[in-house]
Amino acid sequence: MSGNGPRRVMSIAVILTGVFISAVDMLIVNIAFPSMKESFPTASLTGLSWVMSAYAITFAALLLPSGRWADRSGTKRVFLLGLALFTLASAVCAAAPSLEVLVATRAVQGVGAALMAPSSLGLLLGLFPPERRGIAIGLWTAVGGVGSAAALPLGGLLAEVDWRWVFVVNLPLGIAAVLIGAWSLPRSATEDGPVPDLLGIAVLAASVAAVVATITQGETWGWGSAQVVGLSLAGAIGLLWTVRRAQSHPAPVLEPALLKVRTVALGNVATGFFFMGVGAMAISTILFLTQVWRHSTLRGALEIAPGPVMAALFAVPSGILAVRVGVHLVGLVGASAFAAGGIWWTYALDGTPDFPAHFLPGSIIGGIGFGVILPALAAASTLSLPPERVATGTGMASMSRQIGMALGVAVVAVVLTDTPDLSSFRASFMVMAGAGLLSGLALFAIGPVRRPAGTGADTSADHLPHAATR
């Protein structure tokens, strides 16, 4: 779709709405944990953590297959289906009568988000000329940052009334976006292709769930118990089986050809580590403010908000800079700043509430790092790919993101336990810092990346590893 007409503007708005509500919904549940605890008084912190983890696991398992499906069946169709499912699941989450129903429905909501994520960037890139792809990536990540920023104060405000409203807020936006998108979004070329590996999807989701359950329940069950050992083995065997199956299946849940692209492989490693740190940060900050400093949920949400706001402000210029200067340099700077925020909180925070001097600097520094590294992660995962594989590449990166998030939440749920003290929070912030630094080192290892494929190079799928190897 060319030009700057109202239909193009509406298309961009619809796509970014999907990005916005999926970003809001990942973090808004963190702020609602204290309110959820009141509705489900027998639930432990590890039990509540599954409200995030169930979403992340199904999101992760379905991202790459949905990216392949978007490439082959049309990004518009897949995006609208995902948006509709996400909106419907939000309504059911809002009405959930028990924690078990809420967790199960969050898993369904993750399916909808997984269908949206890779197709959203593919659709957005199609609305911009090739020379402005960096702006499109920056805009995509910036809106995600705005969603993260809005999630905290909005979630705090809604949770003060009832945690169910954090899901109700998705309904008007989702319904409007589906109706407008059906009219405005451009139709994309479709290809016949093999059916996605449904068995591989199920095994991957079950394997990640087993690993997360091992981490979250290890202390309760005993690290040497039969349950923990059995789940650990099941998770490891399932992951190995998934990798082996991907070598021969025509539409695997993991795509070996993409992992032969050096930037894509290292970009996914960096993404997994970084969002492990984000998961640690997301849980630790709100619980510290509400349990150690005894601030209200709304006040804690407002105190966290400056970090995501800084991320949103830095995302677009960093996206342009990452394309021009290199993801390895921009990514290392962003990761270092994010880690510095975690280190600041580790040593500056204590039992005496002092938001301007002790909490705010870490939030600003970490938020800047968040905004700087996000476009670098997205660029590392897509810029070396031919245009017809962007949705698939985005799906793989988002899968790494969700797996990292689930693992980070699981680790911190164990570190904090149900009655965390100051030392356990400091350990959680060090998890955030360490994961951030590992992410930056993985991006730096990429080195300079050549210009995006699609400018005269062979971009066929059969030659993918040769078309973009750095």
Asked if the structure places residue 436 within a domain, the reply is yes
Supply φ then ψ for residue 468, to 5 degrees: -155, 95
| Structural domain range at position 243 | 198-248
Judge if 184 and 263 occupy the same domain. Answer: yes
Helix/strand/coil for 82: helix
Whole-angstrom distance, CA of residue 103 vs CA of residue 335:
32
The three-point CA angle 97-41-231 to 5° equals 80
Task: Let me know: does 286 contact 148? Beta carbons within 8 Å.
Answer: no
**pTM exceeds cut of 0.85:** no
Give the C-alpha separation, 178 to 15, whole Å: 10
Same domain, 376 and 448: yes
Whether 220 and 274 map to the same domain: the answer is no
Q: Domain boundary at 232, 248, 264, which? A: 248
Shared domain check, 207 and 193:
no
Number of Cβ within 10 Å of residue 448's Cβ equals 10
Phi, psi (degrees; rounded to nearest 5) at 248? -120, -20
Q: How far apart are CA 188 and CA 70, in angstroms?
A: 9
Four-residue CA torsion sign, 156, 310, 276, 449: positive
Other beta carbons less than 10 A from residue 162's beta carbon? 14
**What integer pLDDT is reported at residue 455 of this predicted model?**
39
> What's the CATH number where 408 sits?
1.20.1250.20
Q: Indicate if 265 and 168 belong to the same structural domain.
A: yes
Alpha-carbon distances, residue 379 vs 14, 50, 305 (angstroms): 22, 30, 26
The pLDDT assigned to 176 comes to 93
318 and 211 share a domain? no
16-58 pLDDT tens trace: 999 888 878 877 887 788 788 888 988 888 888 889 888 888 8
From 213, 248, 283, the end of a domain falls on 248
261 sits in which H/E element: none
Verify that 271 and 409 share a domain, yes or no. yes
113 shares a domain with 236:
no
Tell me, yes or no, whether 17 and 101 share the same domain. yes
Does residue 1 fall inside a structural domain?
no
Max CA distance (Å), the chain: 63
pLDDT at site 468 = 37
For each of the chain's 470 residues, which pLDDT tens digit applies? 545 577 888 888 899 999 888 878 877 887 788 788 888 988 888 888 889 888 888 887 777 777 777 777 788 888 999 999 999 999 999 999 999 999 999 999 989 988 887 788 778 888 887 777 777 877 887 787 677 667 777 888 888 888 899 999 889 999 999 999 988 888 765 555 667 787 888 888 888 888 888 887 787 788 888 988 999 999 999 999 988 888 888 878 777 888 788 888 999 999 999 999 998 998 899 889 988 999 888 888 889 888 888 887 888 788 888 878 888 999 999 999 999 999 999 999 998 999 999 999 999 999 999 999 988 998 888 777 776 677 677 777 878 888 888 888 888 888 887 677 889 999 999 999 999 999 999 999 998 865 544 433 333 333 343 333 33
Residue at a domain's end among 248, 281, 309: 248
Determine, yes or no, domain membership for 454: yes
Nearest-CA neighbor of 249 among 213, 199, 209, 202?
199
pLDDT reported for residue 179: 94
User: How many CB atoms sit inside 10 A of residue 4's CB?
Assistant: 7
User: Is 99 inside any structural domain?
Assistant: yes
pLDDT at 449: 65
Question: Looking up tokens 């700043």, which residue turns up?
Answer: 337
Is 320 found in the same domain as 216? no
As a whole number of angstroms, the distance between CA 280 and CA 215 comes to 14
Q: Per the domain annotation, does 86 fall within a domain?
A: yes
pLDDT tens figures, 220-261:
788 888 988 999 999 999 999 988 888 888 878 777 888 788
Answer yes or no: do 42 and 150 share one domain.
Answer: yes
Is residue 278 included in any domain, yes or no? yes
| Number of domains the chain contains | 2
Shared-domain flag, residues 179 and 282: yes
